[in-house]
Amino acid sequence: MTSPVVQPFFHEPSDTFSYVVSCSETKQCAIIDSCLDFAYNAGRIGTEFADRIVDYVERHGLTVQWILETHAHADHLSAAAYLKGRLGGKIAIGEHVREVQQFFRALYNLDDVSGDGREFDHLFTDGETFTIGRVPVRVMHTPGHTPACVTYVVNEECAFVGDTVFMPDYGTARCDFPNGSARALYRSIRDKILALPEDTKLYMCHDYRPNAPEPRYVTTVKEERERNPLVHDGTSEEQFVKIRDGIDRVLPAPQYILPSLQVNIRAGHMPPPESNGKRYLKLPLNVLGSANIPLDF
């Protein structure tokens, strides 16, 4: 089997890693977890980071087969639709994105979001396989952070884990998003991701260490099993759930959660223009956190 070529890209404003994974024999590739630039204070979308990916693909003579999402992110806006327009390829995500769409369609009162996943070109089922050129890929449904998270196991030698487990000294993703579950996350990590062979490389979606000299994006199953403070070998499900739920109770909401999900459940497309020709992202009031102040003023 052909080993993949993995090129990381770090989006510093959101601490996110995007990847181009390519087949050296066929020059076909997949883009995983892409990002748009977003200036919240100005409501301005940018493509400088995504254009670095475009430049890499074009310079290396690659053809984009897939634009993959590990889940509907709450910390950055997906560049999937932009990249498809520039480079082609199919936008794909796990089939349980339907649940996420349905929840946030209701929250934002969005008439244009289907709730059945049709905004994406393909919805993966658990255990489904596909290829990047001649490189085989297997999809694992790994819920917990959200109900729709998937992990892409590439050539049975590396896995792109999205927001499930983080670097061995940091821990795991949070589980307090709609329909998230610490129990589900524990089982996804311990029974699926950390059940892979010990030398399997795990590619992170984030590195949140503020004082690290360089952002870190890859570890191994062995390192996670030995050193991860929340899910190392010997950690029970009950221990994990107690610690994870305790952490999540005091975590603030991600900075970009409200704008990003409106874009990401649309597969990276912007909201449709309104009657004045302009596009808007909604900001629902008092829907996050515990504040329940009446807004009848």
Give dist(CA 72, CA 120) in Å, integer. 11
In 3D space, the residue among 80, 17, 138 whose CA is nearest the CA of residue 265 turns out to be 80
Q: What is the pLDDT of residue 1?
A: 72
* Cβ 36 vs Cβ 262: under 8 Å: no
Give the global pTM.
0.96
Q: Which CATH architecture has domain 4-264?
A: 4-Layer Sandwich (3.60)
Q: What is the pLDDT of residue 215?
A: 84
pLDDT in tens, 105-140: 999 999 999 999 999 999 999 999 999 999 999 999
Tell me the domain boundaries of the chain. 4-264
Q: What is the pLDDT of residue 290?
A: 61
Q: What is the pLDDT of residue 296?
A: 75
Count CB neighbours of 42 within 10 A.
Answer: 8
Give 77: exposed, middle or buried? Use CB within 10 Å, 0-12, 13-18, 19+. buried
Q: What is the pLDDT of residue 146?
A: 97
Contacts (Cβ under 8 Å, ≥6 apart) of 171: 165, 228, 229, 230, 231
Q: What is the pLDDT of residue 211?
A: 66
Q: Which residues of the chain have pLDDT under 70?
A: 210-212, 289-292
Q: What is the pLDDT of residue 286?
A: 86
Q: What is the pLDDT of residue 207?
A: 85
Give dist(CA 243, CA 47) in Å, integer. 38
Q: What is the pLDDT of residue 287?
A: 83
202 Rama sector, left if φ>0, alpha if ψ -120 to 50, beta otherwise: beta
pLDDT in tens, 245-264: 999 999 998 989 999 999 99
Give dist(CA 4, CA 26) in Å, integer. 11
